[in-house]
Structure 1
Amino acid sequence: MNFPIIAHEPNVVSINVGGRIFQTTKQTLTLAGTDSLLSQLATESARFVDRDPDLFSVLLYILRTGNLPARSRAFDVRDLIEESRFYGIESFLIDSLSNSSQFEAFDLRKSRILPLNGRDSPSTIAPTGIGGGIHVAHGSKITSFDWSLRRKSTVLTNFSAVDSLLEISPGVLAAGATDFPGLQIIDIENGGLVRTTLNWENLTRSSSTVQAIGSSSEFLFTSFESSRRNSNSIMVYDLSTLLPVSEIDHGEIYGADIDSAIPSTKLRWIQSCNLLMVSGSHSSPSGVNGHVRFWDVRSKNMVCEIKETRDCFSDVTVSDNLSAVFKVGVTSGEVFYTDLRSLGSKDPWICLGEDKKRSLSERRGAGCKIESYGNHVFCSKGSGIELWSEVITGLIGNATRDVPKERVFKKNLFGKLADSGENKITGVAFGGSRMFVTRKDQQFIEVWQSPSRGVSI
């Protein structure tokens, strides 16, 4: 049989890596970006690289397809990380790991511990925008772990303790405290340099402290309270320029109207509704009361408000995927939800707990945290976590008639330790395929994730 003679293709590039010849195209190599070594190899005549050829074959596969090959499971991810940094294609490895590693809520396992320097316990945590890294505030310091969780850096801040933390762009954090004026924009890539400080100019001309931070793709939201604690407001900034856009949810104390003095301590953007959910509560001898409000940021109008009196929330969150707001009652300790489509109803909350008539004589839910991620809701209870997931039931006959008034959610438990008092969960956050957990008086972060289908991080 005569095979056709293939003419030399000038677009084909041959690279000698550790004595093994690899052939690819110039277009494939230039995908790596102008700053990468691979892009440079596309234009050089002598193409020899004294590195491991087996690891290079994995990285070349990722560059070609965007995914991890099956053979990558045989390698230690630390070696792949170092090789990807050498060639300048670490971002491609991050993306391929995200494609191969899925967040499976029912199969989360504690995979590692991230130790912190010093004696201070974490006060707040903030996931990185990509790759599943984490920023941790502990005492006056912020420690950042990259997506591999093996490279970390620590910067010293002006705060005695950071209470609010949010990554607003890669390597840039918004940080604030309830006892220190101003929202600081910190460049952690530049040794913790404070780029600027944002303040709220209140009527009393006193300094303002930060109670909460939130963001959308367009805006940065900051809840401020005056140092005299007699006024509060939420400032809206342009996320790219950090210039003020508007002011909403302004509150001043007038006489005995204590409700107006409650600052919002949690801000969550609802993408599906283009609304900002703000919530805050206040404890007094007569009990706990608070508010959950929904704001149209562009029109500066409050769309809806839920006034919390009986069994006020210990914590509240919103899920775009589930189209619902969830809270954990500070007295009952039960999880409640209200459908976003039924906001404004007289009695919005529906209890998911088993004991819906539990006595409200004690604060069983004090200190409980609740967060949503994907199609699930996670609520800390002591040293353990409740996982709530919606059960989708089939409809028979007339769909409008058969839809139940109350949606069905199922509870699962995990993570509980023997001594819930000493090991009480103080924070829960999510990033990529990981869940991060902090516990009382512990100087480390727990990392929970599903067993990886590709390379184990």
Structure 2
Amino acid sequence: MNSSIGSQNPKSESSNIVTLNVGGELFQTTQQTLTLAGPNSILSNLFSSSNSNANIPFFDRDPQLFSIILSFLRTGNLLSKSKEFNLHDLIVESQFYGIEHLLINSLSNPSQFNPLNLQKSMLLPLNGRDIPSAISTTSIGSVHVAHGSKVTSFDWSLTRKSTILTQFVAIDSLLALSPDKAAAGATDFSGLQIIDLEKGFVKENLNWVNSTRSSSTVQAIGSSNEHLFTCFESGRRNSNAIVVYDLLGDFRPVIEIARNEIYGAEFDCTTIPATKLNWISSYNLLMASGSHSGPTGVLGSIKLWDVRSGNSIWEMKETVDCFADVSVSSSSSCMFKVGINSGEVFFLDLRKLTPESEWVCLGNRAKLINAKKEGLGCKVECNGSNVFVSKGGNLELWSEVLVNSSRSGENVVEDRVFKKTLMGRAKDMNGNRITNLRFGGNKMFVTRKDEQLIEVWKGSNEGL
């Protein structure tokens, strides 16, 4: 901040009106308004009791952009004329004044996510020729994309992009730990790497010591608020385990669970390594799922693990219509899958889970007979209580509807009703097969087979 000499007191004893000089233009506001900038902002700290007799503060910044900033502090919303300015310029100004956190909360708040109003709004380009293999997001809407041996990161506003070259030939698993840090692994390269995406170097290289002392490749990564979960498989593919690391400390291993040692013909679906790890926060349980394609079809296993004790508390063997993909909604206490043969959506109520629990079909039950891998490649991901399912290049939204307990009919199961909605406009549909679905801030990110671009879906009535 630069100061100029002036004669006017910014605050008199009888008023809290303050005056600022920004780029040669004078602005008047109140101390209460500037305090809304937060304790770490240079604006809220201008008029403390220690400098009450200071001269008019001078900022050598753009006054037009400051008018947007000041109006934003007054109302909590960006003026309509802010659309005339480049969003990146507004972000730079918000960083200078120390209020970027307020801008993030206004423009990328997860509470603003409206699944019924989403439509494809922009495309994010990648460097090079490699297509995305994995993507991961943060709660504020920044996104990391693995493509080939590279990771490209977009900030929360999607206006700033950076790309680093990793030590992997290709990356199969990626998990955002923060806007500038991620965990990455590969199925053909040993170790889990914690990468500083801003500086482009490996902070930690985590490995699993298996019984054969061979390499340990990564099959899946997940996390809770406290722990990082990684499913490793030995290079000889005869052993696997899930290692739980301390996410808040120095990534030290806390416990090893789900260890399998495979000898000869003893292989069955219970020894399949997990290829997806979902943390169920409302139950403090880890869901681990994996499948394997063999001569008799696709077999799979889903287990729920108590990480504190290291014990499996529930298991389901998938032998008939195995999942093409499976996910959990912690807020609605449900597990969802897409059947690989039928292509239909199923659910399990976690509140009534027993060893005898069976999937409940939400779609066309008649398709369960003689179906032939209609669900191959389908994806299912939960965001809050909303369930998103990809069918080829199209997207379905499944939402629970509250009804009277006396109602009965199709898709009504023990008072739980799920309604299907097709997403997007006509021009958003029927593209290449969807390969990834992720959610961050108030946006949804989509990748498609053989396409280098990242689709960004957000509300049609949103501003910048």
Q: Does 1:364 align with 2:388?
A: no
**Structure 1 residues 313 and 404: alpha-carbon distance in aligned structure 2, compared to 1, 3 A threshold:** closer
Question: Offset of 1:70 from its aligned partner?
Answer: 5.4
Q: Does 1:407 align with 2:413?
A: no
CA contact (8 A) 1:311 1:360 kept: no
Structure 1 CA distance, aligned partners of 2:216 and 2:59?
A: 56
> What is the aligned partner in structure 2 of residue 226 from structure 1?
234
**Structure 1 residues 369 and 404: alpha-carbon distance in aligned structure 2, compared to 1, 3 A threshold:** closer
Question: Offset of 1:263 from its aligned partner?
Answer: 0.5
> What is the aligned partner in structure 2 of residue 163 from structure 1?
172
What residue identity is the alignment partner of 1:135? H
Q: Does 1:328 align with 2:338?
A: yes
What residue identity is the alignment partner of 1:230? N
Secondary structure of the 1:442 match is coil
Q: Among 240, 261, 273, which residue is 1:252 paired with?
A: 261
Q: Does 1:281 align with 2:291?
A: yes
Give per-residue Cα distances to partners, 1:403-443, cap 9 Å, x unaligned: 952621111113577995x7111111111111100011111
Aligned residues: 441
Query: Bigger CA drift: 117-126 or 98-107?
Result: 98-107
TM-score between both structures, scaled by the size of structure 2: 0.88
Structure 2 CA distance, aligned partners of 1:340 and 1:199?
A: 33
Secondary structure of the 1:298 match is coil
Q: Does 1:104 align with 2:109?
A: no
> What is the aligned partner in structure 2 of residue 239 from structure 1?
247
> What is the aligned partner in structure 1 of residue 26 from structure 2?
20
Superposition RMSD in Å: 2.7
CA contact (8 A) 1:324 1:340 kept: yes
TM-score between both structures, scaled by the size of structure 1: 0.89
Structure 2 CA distance, aligned partners of 1:178 and 1:81?
A: 38
Query: Bigger CA drift: 22-31 or 338-347?
Result: 22-31
Q: Does 1:427 align with 2:433?
A: no
What residue identity is the alignment partner of 2:248? S
Structure 2: give runs of 5+ residues left out of the alignment. Answer: 1-10
Q: Does 1:195 align with 2:221?
A: no
Give per-residue Cα distances to partners, 1:135-175, cap 9 Å, x unaligned: 00000000000011010000000111111111123311100
CA contact (8 A) 2:39 2:45 kept: no
Question: Offset of 1:207 from its aligned partner?
Answer: 1.1
> What is the aligned partner in structure 2 of residue 3 from structure 1?
none
Structure 1 CA distance, aligned partners of 2:74 and 2:307?
A: 43
**Structure 1 residues 288 and 451: alpha-carbon distance in aligned structure 2, compared to 1, 3 A threshold:** same
What residue identity is the alignment partner of 2:210? N
CA contact (8 A) 2:36 2:73 kept: no
> What is the aligned partner in structure 2 of residue 115 from structure 1?
125
CA contact (8 A) 2:17 2:28 kept: no
The 5 Å alignment of 1:300-339 reads: 300-339=310-349
**Structure 1 residues 282 and 450: alpha-carbon distance in aligned structure 2, compared to 1, 3 A threshold:** same
Question: Offset of 1:220 from its aligned partner?
Answer: 0.5
Q: Does 1:127 align with 2:130?
A: no
Structure 2 CA distance, aligned partners of 1:321 and 1:163?
A: 28
Q: Among 455, 459, 463, which residue is 1:450 paired with?
A: 459
Secondary structure of the 1:248 match is strand
**Structure 1 residues 435 and 419: alpha-carbon distance in aligned structure 2, compared to 1, 3 A threshold:** closer
> What is the aligned partner in structure 1 of residue 189 from structure 2?
180
> What is the aligned partner in structure 1 of residue 5 from structure 2?
none
Structure 1 CA distance, aligned partners of 2:120 and 2:361?
A: 29
Structure 2 CA distance, aligned partners of 1:240 and 1:255?
A: 40
CA contact (8 A) 2:219 2:273 kept: yes
Question: Offset of 1:9 from its aligned partner?
Answer: 5.3
Secondary structure of the 2:176 match is strand
Structure 2 CA distance, aligned partners of 1:70 and 1:423?
A: 38
Structure 2 CA distance, aligned partners of 1:21 and 1:88?
A: 18
> What is the aligned partner in structure 2 of residue 400 from structure 1?
none
Structure 1: give runs of 5+ residues left out of the alignment. Answer: 1-5, 398-402
Structure 2 CA distance, aligned partners of 1:377 and 1:50?
A: 49
Secondary structure of the 1:189 match is coil
Structure 1 CA distance, aligned partners of 2:148 and 2:111?
A: 33
> What is the aligned partner in structure 2 of residue 83 from structure 1?
93
Query: Bigger CA drift: 43-52 or 426-435?
Result: 43-52
Give per-residue Cα distances to partners, 1:185-204, cap 9 Å, x unaligned: 000111x1101100111111
Give per-residue Cα distances to partners, 1:190-224, cap 9 Å, x unaligned: 1x110110011111111100000000011110000
Give per-residue Cα distances to partners, 1:300-337, cap 9 Å, x unaligned: 11110011110000100000122100000111111100
CA contact (8 A) 2:176 2:182 kept: yes
Secondary structure of the 2:204 match is strand
